[in-house]
Amino acid sequence: MTTFRIQTSARNQFVEITDQVRDAITASGISSGLCVVYCPHTTAAITVNENADPDVVHDMLLYLNKTIPQNQTGFRHAEENSDSHIKASLVGPSVTLIVEDGEIVLGRWQGVYFCEFDGPRTRKVMVQVVG
């Protein structure tokens, strides 16, 4: 298992981590199998989406922030970050990727993102590869 840290700079932010995931696969020495990218935090998530036009991430965050506002009638959690927990479970705590020929199988426009929903914070990401 490989662990790496990232520093986020906003309350809601997508940070691309494709290169760090590639490095973890190379370090594992496994050429064919599966790779799990895991977020050990309850107010952040992992996803795969377009990494060509940054406007895609802009629009995804705009939608999430508009439809899951921070303060909602009836919310009880005293930390006032229930929106962050909701986003975390909807986007999901991990992605499972395919490894072939020592590389992650990604589509032409795909990158792997760490999704910060309660930053800025220092965060950890774990990567496990099995063959």
* Site for a second copy, rule CB under 8 A: 1, 32-34, 36, 38-42, 47-50, 53, 55-56, 58-60, 62-64, 66-68, 72, 74-79, 82, 85-86, 88-100, 105-110, 124, 126, 128, 130-131
Q: What is the dihedral of CA 76, 77, 83, 86, to 10 degrees?
A: -100
- d(C-alpha 111, C-alpha 48), whole Å: 6
Whole-number minimum distance, CB 5 to a second copy, in Å?
A: 13
Whole-number minimum distance, CB 70 to a second copy, in Å?
A: 11
Amino acid, single-letter form, for residue 65: N
Is the CB of 6 or the CB of 68 nearer to a second copy?
68
33 DSSP β-pair partners:
99
Amino acid, single-letter form, for residue 32: S
